[in-house]
Structure 1
Amino acid sequence: MKKRRYFYAFLAFIVVSLGTGGFLLSQNKGKRENTASPLRITMILPHSDYGYWSIVGNGVMSAGKDLGVDVKVEIPQLNYNVDQMASLIEKNTAAKVDAIIVQGIEDDCYLSALKKAEEKGIQIIFVDTDIENFPNRLYIGTDNYSAGYLMGEKTAEATEQKANIIIMSGAEGYPNLEQRYKGFKDAIKSYSDMKILDLKYDYYDALQFSDSYYEAKRTYPEADTLVCIEGTAAQTLGRRNNNLKEIYDHILAFDLNNEAVNAMKEGILHGVIVQQQEYMGYLAVEQAKQKAEQGYYDADVIFTDIYFMTLMDLDRENGYGKK
């Protein structure tokens, strides 16, 4: 009987030791053995938009300069070309960089390239869009469900809880947009006079947005509210040469930039969800450096702040929106 107790105690010790060892291996995966050369990090942007993603890239470059890290930013030749982005991941895997910072995209080839990089000991850090079941990943960015929920609350407030809504999204297969859409629907589901008429996609293209802007109104003449859960809309609406007529009573969108301010000043855009994209990029490099030197991230998921801003808020804060 005593021998059996000793056996089970020994077995428990082995199980705990293996479990702890696995945890420690997971925590230390990505920690550098040779620290003589500078840490090398590549950020792969989905495109150069002179707005949201360019600001993320600025944060990455600023952190590299401040923290003494060798960083570079790469962009596919065609906007949001997933195959080209996968090729850039493979190129940087072959170059044996220490970390790759990317947007999470649900595409088999793209995820396969990322998993091969992770298996080589390269840190994978998702910014803006998470892939929750990806092994040993870090996500830094907006809580997109909460952002969608906030947009729903602000839409209800702006329309006095009565609206016929067109949702404008970017493209299929992006978890961040799907989470925003879910959050929005959950926020307005208790309001019987708020109805979503259609979900349309602009594929992050200004011309496609303009076409969809009018097409939705032709299809649904009763539509009075346009809610844009991606960033192309605000940029397009605020360009002086957009030639878009005011056909919706309320328009709400994502991301603050000069064009969005113009659109708010013209009374076209009610307000925007503001994200912390430069801080996302900076923090991604900062966390990658910590992981490489100390073996751990602060957390697997780090949410950056969001808030809703109107022209009145801008006037009150810093006069940015004043005429």
Structure 2
Amino acid sequence: MKKKWIIRLIISVLLISITGYVVKFLRTDDRPKVVVVLKDADTQYWEIVEAEAEKGFRDFDIDGKVIAPRYGSEADAQGFVLKSILAEHPDALVVSPFESPLVMSSLKEAAQSKIPVLLIDTDIPLENKTTYIGTDNFELGQKAGELLASGLQPGDKVALIAGDLTSSVISERIKGAILSFEAAGIKIAVEKTELPNESLPVRAAMTTILQQYPDVKGVFATTDIMALSALEVIRKHGNSIPVMGVDGIVKMVESIEEGVVPDTVAQNPYDMGYISVETAWKVIQGENVRKTVDTGIDLITKDNAEQKLDFLKKLLK
């Protein structure tokens, strides 16, 4: 066991090194020092968060860094990253935390060291956090469930496709969606959970659903990547079952514009990125900030898809 722990530690340290995690500030000026730590940089959602955080650095004249792995990561690796950042004594720390004991320990240490800790995207029960900036994930799931149910009939069955239910983000979305389905008289035929947010396992799960539950009339997925992968399988089998995601990434909006998907709900990752940096700046200036900043939920339909698409593509240039 000890040998395995040492190997795991070495791998985590190497991850920190190769993904550009270690931050060194050259304190050559008096600008505030802010570090933003994201979960990854491989998906479009996080690319938008990063782009808007960088814009915030420029607008508020902040010496800032966005730290995000380019090739995936682990919760423990993020914990080691945070500890290395604390040694540099930033003026504020903005984090989208993995929900692990090591990450929690690192964030507690930051708060105890009087470094303001602002959480984005994922809220965790950190006693001395400065604020949470992001989506109300229960409401997001609830609105997605309502939207999907609005195109179905009482008694119809749906499938749920989700990631790790130990994640508060995922579990809250599922709870919200289930509440809406129950209110509309929609039955849940099957739940495929604990899936990675990747195309291949989701496609396999959706194939199984179509084979074993041919009477399913709709699919709710906890991310757009999952929703789009499920949609790919459905169309391949010649079906037209509606699929609901929650992120509003470019490909999902394109699907709405093309008439493949009728509508969807979306988070606002651009607001998360920008507002988190703006809020960090306010905290450093000594201003009081709200304990929760809700970045809202958008409804994307055929009527506004083109406008939304243009906006997203400009952000990602």
Same fold per superposition (TM over 0.5):
yes
Contact 2:247 2:266 in 1 (8 A): yes
Q: CA deviation at 1:258?
A: 2.4
Hey, what's the Cα distance between the residues in 2 that align with 1:319 and 1:83?
Answer: 36
Hey, what's the Cα distance between the residues in 1 that align with 2:212 and 2:104?
Answer: 37
- 1:303 pairs with 2:294: yes
Contact 1:166 1:200 in 2 (8 A): no
1:278 to 263, 270, 281: 270
Deviations 1:243-266 (A, max 9, x none): 844545111112223211333345
Q: CA deviation at 1:140?
A: 0.5
- 167-176 or 300-309: bigger deviation: 167-176
Measured at CA, do residues 318 and 68 of structure 1 come closer, stay the same or move farther in structure 2, by a change above 3 Å? closer
- 254-263 or 275-284: bigger deviation: 254-263
Q: CA deviation at 1:219?
A: 3.3
Map 1:114-193 → 2, pairs under 5 A: 114-193=107-186
1:215 to 208, 219, 226: 208
Contact 1:89 1:113 in 2 (8 A): yes
Contact 1:42 1:97 in 2 (8 A): yes
Q: Size of the alignment, in residue pairs?
A: 284
Hey, what's the Cα distance between the residues in 2 that align with 1:71 and 1:117?
Answer: 17
Hey, what's the Cα distance between the residues in 2 that align with 1:248 and 1:85?
Answer: 40
Hey, what's the Cα distance between the residues in 1 that align with 2:276 and 2:192?
Answer: 32
In structure 2, the gaps of 5 or more residues are: 1-26, 311-317
Q: Percent identity?
A: 20
Q: CA deviation at 1:59?
A: 1.1
Q: Aligned letter for 1:310?
A: T
Given the two structures, how large is their TM-score scaled by the length of structure 1?
A: 0.79
Hey, what's the Cα distance between the residues in 2 that align with 1:126 and 1:246?
Answer: 43
Hey, what's the Cα distance between the residues in 1 that align with 2:88 and 2:302?
Answer: 46
Q: Aligned letter for 1:280?
A: M
Deviations 1:210-261 (A, max 9, x none): 222212223323222111122322554688x998445451111122232113
Contact 2:247 2:267 in 1 (8 A): yes
Q: CA deviation at 1:295?
A: 4.5
Q: CA deviation at 1:113?
A: 1.4
Contact 2:256 2:263 in 1 (8 A): yes
- Aligned residue for 1:54, secondary structure, equals helix
Deviations 1:105-149 (A, max 9, x none): 321111111111221111111111111443233100111111111
What's the Cα RMSD here? 2.8
Contact 2:152 2:217 in 1 (8 A): no
Residue in structure 2 matched with residue 7 of structure 1 by the alignment: none
